[in-house]
Each structure stands twice: as structure tokens, then as C-alpha cells.
Structure 1
Amino acid sequence: MSLEQILSSLEQGKHAPTERWNPPYCGEIPIHIDENGQWHYQGSPIQRDRLVKLFASVLVHEQGDYFLVTPAEKVKISVADVPFIVVTWTKVTDVSPTVIQVTTNIDQQFALSEQHPLIVRNEQLYVDCGRDLWAKVHRNVVYQWAEIAQVQQHHGRDIYTIESAGSRFYLNQ
């Protein structure tokens, strides 16, 4: 697969077929994804969105470590928490049941569902982006969801939930 084919498939929202590649491990490179989902190379932010999307398309998570995988090589990178951030959302009401669609900092879109669940971990919200990759939900989105959430009492505590694609998701534990 050529670079142009990868970039073209990225624009269609696809990821590279990393599961079909088994390249040799070639060590670590100085790429880091910080807790805000910002990608850095040698300590400097990567400003080109298209380059970040290219890297994200070959990102894999294996046994707690993150790697960029191409047909020729596999290199380890560091990630502070998770690689992506949910930055916006939309409630799609012209389908039944109603769906909450989230968008990440690299323009990936997912419908909250059993396939892409919302979970609470360490008092933070995360969305499963597939391929064992996760997106942390930005605080602004959490506040917006809290405004539309259903509130239920459980053992004297308020439990906040939202519904999407026929599933209920908790905003707190």
C-alpha cells in the first residue's frame, strides 16, 4: 500500500490494514502523545493534521504499549494516557433509537453503542474507538452530557446516564 493510497483511505475514514502486517520491531522513536491528545516529535508539537492522521492510521496498542506499524517496520511510541480525545458530539434524532455521535481530535466519528461503548475509568470517561484504542472525553463534552443526562438515585448517590443506540451509558460510578 503506497503513501497516497493510505492518505486516500484516511480521507474516507479508514485505517491501514496493520493487522495483516508483521514487520520486525525496530526500537523506539521520539513520538509522544500527551494527555490532551497532542502528538509531539522530539518534544515539539506536530502541527500538520494530515501527518497526525497518517500516524494514527498505523497506530496499534499491544500489551499496554503503543506502536506505529508499517509493512516494513514497527516502532514504539509513548502515550501519556490514551491517543485520542472526544472533542465534540451530536445527538442524531432522525433515527430510532436516538444515537449520540462523537468526534475525536483527529476527526474520527463513532456512534456510542455496544460496539463503541462509553466507560468510566479513574473518574474519567473514555470511548472505545476499536482496535484496542480509546479516546478520553474532553471535559466540555462531559459537562454537556451532564446537562442532558438522566439522573437516578442509587444508595443515596446521583447516578448520571445517557442513552445512545439503545444502550445506557454511565457518566459516573
Structure 2
Amino acid sequence: MRIASDGTWFYRGSPIGRKPLVKLFSTVLRRENGAFWLVTPVERGRILVDDAPFVAVEVEAAGTGRDSRLTFRTNVDDIVTLDATHPIRVDHDPASGEPRPYVTVRDGLEARILRPVYYHLVEMGEFAEVDGAEQLGVWSCGRFFPLGRIAA
């Protein structure tokens, strides 16, 4: 089995078209020592993941400023509130320098934040000082989450 970078799940090279089946598989997905596994009480199988196992397809904001609460929905309908346990991490593509943002979903599993969702976060962003430098980021649950470096 394999999960493509766009969130499509494959079995023996064919996409799994039944969303309820993908959602079921997602509930038994685990990450151990950098590898991904589907783990049930009676079976365990390795699964290849091209990037992140989930994709954040939507973000909703409640409140404003430091009092805001941002909630993501993934491609398997997991709901994740951006907080200390579920932070944003932003990598950058080494070739293009483009940001590659992720949000922690659970137990070391992340969702890649889709570009339109990331742009929405940027629109909501505010500047705050982090480690002596002003950075663009978003507030959620009383914490500031930087959105990555800003090109000059």
C-alpha cells in the first residue's frame, strides 16, 4: 500500500476509491521509527508514504488575534485544532525554496497543508517577535505559530 503526496491511497498500484475504506485504514495507521504501518489486533503491514499521510484541506477560524482558535479538516475528515499538541511545522523545498507546511494530526502523524489553505493562513497572519526576529504567523489557543521565512 502507498499514500501519494496528494493524499490518495493506493493498493497494489490502484487508487482506493471508497472514502469510508480509506478513513478506516487511517484509524489504524501508526508511525514507528520513521516508518508507517497499518496495525490491527491481528495483523501489521508496512505502508509507503510519499510525503505526509494526510492532507489538510480546510481551515476555520473562530475568534481573533491571540484569542483565535484555528481548526483544520483533513482529507479523511479528522478535525485538528492548532495548539501546543498539534503545531504547524514549515519546511522549505530545497530546490525551489517554496514552503511545505504541515500540521500534526496525532501520534507523530502529520497532514500536509494544501497551498490554498496555507495562503488562507497567510491572509490571517500577523507579525510577532520570535527569537528576536519579527515573523509572520497565526495565533491559535493562545500560542503563536510562525508560517515560515518570508522572502525579502
For the superposition of Structure 1 and Structure 2, which TM-score range results when normalised by the shorter chain? 0.7 to 0.9
1:126 equivalent to 2:96? Answer no
Deviation, structure 1 residue 43: 1.2
Instruction: Identify unmatched segments of 5+ residues in structure 1.
Output: 1-30
Structure 1 residue ranges (4+ consecutive) displaced by more than 6 angstroms after TM superposition = none
- Which of 128, 134, 140 pairs up with 2:116? 140
Deviation, structure 1 residue 158: 7.0
Deviation, structure 1 residue 120: 1.2
Q: Please give the alpha-carbon distance, in whole angstroms, between the structure 2 residues aligned to 1:57 and 1:152.
A: 36
Q: Please give the alpha-carbon distance, in whole angstroms, between the structure 1 residues aligned to 2:74 and 2:80.
A: 9
Q: Please give the alpha-carbon distance, in whole angstroms, between the structure 2 residues aligned to 1:72 and 1:90.
A: 38
Describe the SS at the equivalent of 1:81: coil
Deviation, structure 1 residue 39: 0.4
Q: Please give the alpha-carbon distance, in whole angstroms, between the structure 2 residues aligned to 1:38 and 1:140.
A: 18
Please show how residues 86-125 of structure 1 align to structure 2 within 5 Å. Answer: 86-93=56-63, 97-122=67-92, 123-125=99-101
Q: Deviations over 1:69-122 (max 9, x none)?
A: 11111111100011001000110229x822001100100001100011111123
Q: Determine what percentage of the aligned residue pairs are the same residue.
A: 34
What TM-score does the superposition give when structure 2 sets the normalisation length? 0.85
Paired residue for 2:11?
41
Q: Please give the alpha-carbon distance, in whole angstroms, between the structure 2 residues aligned to 1:142 and 1:82.
A: 15
Deviation, structure 1 residue 148: 1.4
Q: Please give the alpha-carbon distance, in whole angstroms, between the structure 2 residues aligned to 1:129 and 1:152.
A: 25
Please show how residues 20-31 of structure 1 align to structure 2 within 5 Å. Answer: 31=1
Deviation, structure 1 residue 132: 1.1
Please show how residues 2-13 of structure 1 align to structure 2 within 5 Å. Answer: none
Describe the SS at the equivalent of 2:67: coil
Deviation, structure 1 residue 153: 8.2
1:149 equivalent to 2:119? Answer no
Q: Please give the alpha-carbon distance, in whole angstroms, between the structure 2 residues aligned to 1:158 and 1:169.
A: 12
Paired residue for 1:15?
none
Q: Which amino acid aligns with 1:63?
A: N
| Structure 1 residues 143 and 62: alpha-carbon distance in aligned structure 2, compared to 1, 3 A threshold | same
Structure showing greater Rg: 1
Describe the SS at the equivalent of 1:168: strand
Q: Please give the alpha-carbon distance, in whole angstroms, between the structure 1 residues aligned to 2:4 and 2:69.
A: 30
C-alpha RMSD of matched pairs (Å): 2.0
